[in-house]
Every structure is written in C-alpha cells, then in structure tokens.
Amino acid sequence: MFKRFLKLEWKSFFRGSSVGINLAMKIFRIIGICFFIFWLAMMSFIAYYYVQEEMKEDPLKIISRFLIIGWVIDLVFKYMIQQIPTQNIKPFLTLNIPKKVVVNYTLIKTFLTPLSWFNSIFIITFCGILAFNGYGFLGIFTWFVGVSSMFYLNNFLNLLFNDKENVAIGVGVVIAALSALNYYDIVPVLSYSEKFFYNLYERPYFAVVPVMLFAGLWKVTYNYIRKGFYLDEGLEAKKEIGKTENIAFLNKYGAIGTFINNDIKMLKRNKVTKGVLIGSFMFVFYGLLMFTSEIYSTPTMMMFMGLFVTGGFQFTFGQRVPAFDSAYYPLMMTQNVPYKEYLKAKWWLMNIVTAISIIIALFYAYFGWNVYFAFFAAGLYNIGVNSQFTLWSGAYNKNLIDLNAKEKRVGQKNTLSFKAFILMIPKMILPMVVYGVTEKLFGIPAAVVTIGVLGLIGFLLREKIFDIIIKKYKTEKYSTIEAFKKD
C-alpha cells in the first residue's frame, strides 16, 4: 500500500494544469535544498574544527551544550511551517484502505519534508567527523539515534498542538523564561543540555530515553489523528458565524480610513493573518537571538538587525498586499476603487506598526544606546523608504493566499521574484552600507542622522514614488487578476 502511495505522489508531480510552473519551482527548490545540504555539511566541519582548534574543548561536549537551542529553533520552525497534508489525505478516506494505514502514511510523510531531515545532514556529517577522529563507534551511534529521535519527535509535538494557539503562546513564554534564567545564570540550561546529550555518547544505554519518547509520541499522535480522521470532523474546515464590527473613528479619514478598517478586521479574523501579527511581534525580539555572535556587533549588522526588528510587519504583510486581498481582488478591480487610497491605507498601516515597533524596541538600550540608535535609525528608514519599496515589490506577488485555509502563513507559496529580489538592494543593502561607512568615518550620531535623512527624503518624496508604484500596479493588474483566478 505504501508503494502505491509513493506512485501517486510521483504522478502528482507531473500532472496538473500548471505543471510547467510547478516543475520549474520544484527545480529551483531542489537547487535550494542542495545548497542547504552543502551548507549544513560544511557547518558541521566548521563547528568541529573551530571548537577543537580555537576553543581547545571537546567538540562533542560543546555541540551537545547548544543542541537544546537547535531543538527549540527546530520546534518553532515546524510549528510555523509544517502541517498535516489534508488535501492529499481526503481522497483516500472514500476508498477501501484501512484507516490505520492512511494515518501511518500521514505521519511518515511529515518526515519526508526537507524541514524535517535538514538537521540530519548536520548530525550525520558531524558523526562521520567524530568517527574519523577516533571517537567510539557505539557511542557515536547511540548519540546519533538519541539526538535524531529528539529532533524528529518535534513533528509529533507540532501535529498535537498545531491548532492550539494558547498552548503555543504558553510554550513561547516558557522558552523566553528559561532563556532569561540561563542568561542571568540562575538556571544553567545549557549545562543541563550538555549533560543530557553527552550521556547519549558516554552511556549508550541512555539512548533508550529519547527512543521511548519518540515511540510514545508516535502512538499518542496516531491516536489523536485517528480519532478525528473523518471528512465531517477533523479534516473539515472550521466554520464560524460571521459578525460585523467597525472601528468608527477611522471612517472620518475617507477611503483611506475605510481600507485601514478593512485590513484591521482582516488581520483579526483569519488564522493566516493572525500568523502575520504573531510573526511581526516575534521580529521585535529577533535581535536577542543574534547577540550571541560577535559578527552582529558590527555597525553594518546592527543595521541589518534593526531593519528586521522594526520592520517585521512590513516584510510579512506589505510585500503581500494584493495577495491578502486575492479572494476578492478581481471583483474589487471592477469597482471604482481609487488605487492611490488603497495603497496609502496599506502604507499608513505599515508605518503605524513600524512606529510602535520602534517604541517597543527601546528595551534594546539595555545592551547599549549604540544598539538602540542603530535600531531607531533603521526604523526611520523603514518608515520613509522601505515602506514604499515594500509596496512596490508587492506588485510582483501573484500567488493566491487563501485566508480561510488552515495552512500556516509561512507555508504559503514562495513569493520572491527576481524583480522583488532586485528591490532588496535599496531596502537592505543600501542602509547597511551607508550606516556602516558613516559610523566608521564620523561616528554613531552622524550615521543615525544620515539614515534618518534618507528616511526623511523618502517620506517627502512619497507622492512622486506613489505615482511610480501605482503605475506599476496598473501595468501588472490583468496578469495579477488572472493569477488570482487560478486556484
């Protein structure tokens, strides 16, 4: 039966009305996967020999110490991206196939996605380096089995709590609390991680613990999915009673206020757009993850972090402006909708959130005012310049987004075109270079003022830039409508 399932997967690869586009996208995806495989393999070499030569420590112990961080990152990414392939499962439920076979196939399929096995490239290569350098084979084998089991059981945790946002928030709070306790040396989380994972090598029988956890979670997840494995229950799209709400004070701003009102309601109502809000909030704390590396203490990389910390909402919402309206975009284009007010509403909404992010980011002053000044300058640049270039790149986004789908926001199709990639130069590279060079030659105040002036120039020229953006949206109008009609 599993062989037949694999044959169906292979046939689906070459069938469909958009096979040419899908095949091209899959080829580029394969190239990207090969790049990451090579990169992860190289990282294992760098990690081993850097620890051994520079730190003069046991590489296995050091890697074991930081595996807990990799495990948490893996869990977060799987929660954001991975999902149950319900569309591929539904046709099997009407056939004479044992339900347990379909459920097990579903669980196995989650392990075949690149996100699931990318970590294995690093682990396998690292184990090969350990064996080459004289580490015991039995210990290496049990360490590999134990570590792999711990990472792969994240698939089950994600499937169990995929649609439970309260649990996800609670887990996020726990992770943040443990990170703070470890940072202030109250609870040595990294030391516990080193002891746990290194025991997998030092005491081979200890590998039974993660293997038993893996097997137990497989059984729990199997029962959980099997219980709701019906077209009219677990796999049915959830329906809610619609309700009308209105933010009255925005109506006095005319068409712009009406569009902002609609966008706020859209962000509040749909799971996909709620993911944008959560992702934008998480971007504010992006800088905390990067302070562990000295490379990010340079002015250029400080600006890089600042652009993401203050512009998370722009990057997750702005460049997908027409895509979020794709369900009714063709209808909207038949109405007398003022393009300029439509885009300005998006622009104002992005900049309001950016301004709020700049205020929230004030806590980065704890790490030094030079850090916050860099982030403040990045925020000004996001408001004055990047907000408009982000809308510009949105004109090339022609991928339909189903707001009613259970699919994760990050799980949507890739929206990065070559033209959008070119627009990354003024959005990211230009402010990084300008800030880095100015800071080195004239100091932090001059660098902040320079970036601020660029943002002010962009803000003052917004009407001229909007005319260019509107012209581009009109040029792409009919190809966008045609793309949105293809489901």
Domain that holds residue 472: 253-485
Q: Which residues contact 142 (CB under 8 A, 6 or more apart)?
A: 200, 201, 204, 205, 206, 207
Name the token pair of 400.
């339909």
What pLDDT does 65 receive? Answer: 92
Same-domain pairing of 50 and 129: yes
For residues 74 and 133, membership in a common domain is answered with yes
How large is the average pLDDT for residues 369-377?
A: 85
Assess whether 179 and 283 both reside in one domain.
Answer: no
Comparing 317 with 273, the larger pLDDT belongs to: 317
Residue 247, in any domain of the structure: no
The highest-confidence range among 13-17, 27-31, 415-419, 451-455, by mean pLDDT, is: 451-455
pLDDT tens profile 330-344: 777 777 767 778 888
262 in the same domain as 222 = no
Please report the pLDDT score of residue 293 as a whole number: 53
Residue 432 inside a domain? The answer is: yes
- Examine the domain organization and report whether 188 and 275 are in the same domain: no
pLDDT of residue 471: 84
Least confident interval from 361-365, 391-395, 442-446: 391-395
In a domain, 234, yes or no: no
Number of domains in the chain: 2
Each residue of 402-419: pLDDT tens digit? Answer: 665 544 433 344 444 445
- Computed over every residue of the chain, the mean pLDDT equals 78
Choose the final residue of a domain: 192, 227, 262: 227
164-178, 204-218, 291-305, 470-484: range with lowest mean pLDDT: 291-305
Note whether 29 and 69 are same-domain residues: yes
Task: Let me know if residue 232 belongs to a domain.
Answer: no
pLDDT single digits (tens) 67-126: 998 998 888 878 766 666 554 566 666 666 777 887 888 888 888 777 788 889 999 999
Q: Are both 151 and 290 inside the same structural domain?
A: no
Instruction: Based on the fold, state whether residues 217 and 316 are members of the same structural domain.
Output: no
Is residue 330, in this structure, part of any structural domain at all? yes
User: Would residue 236 count as lying in a domain?
Assistant: no
The whole-model pTM stands at 0.56
Both 385 and 464 in one domain: the answer is: yes
Residue range 28-51, pLDDT digits in tens = 667 777 877 888 889 899 889 988
- Where is the domain boundary, 192, 211, 227? 227
**Buried-exposed string 75-113: b where 16+ CB fall within 10 A, e elsewhere:** bbebbbbbbbebeebeebeeeeeeeeebbbbbbebbeee
Same domain, residue pair 216 and 316:
no
- How far is Cα 318 from Cα 268, in angstroms, rounded to an integer? 16
Domain check: are 373 and 279 in the same one?
Answer: yes
> Is residue 340 domain-resident?
yes
**Residue 95 located in a structural domain:** yes
Specify the range with the lowest mean pLDDT, choosing from 14-23, 220-229, 360-369: 14-23
On whether both 39 and 181 belong to a single domain, the answer is yes
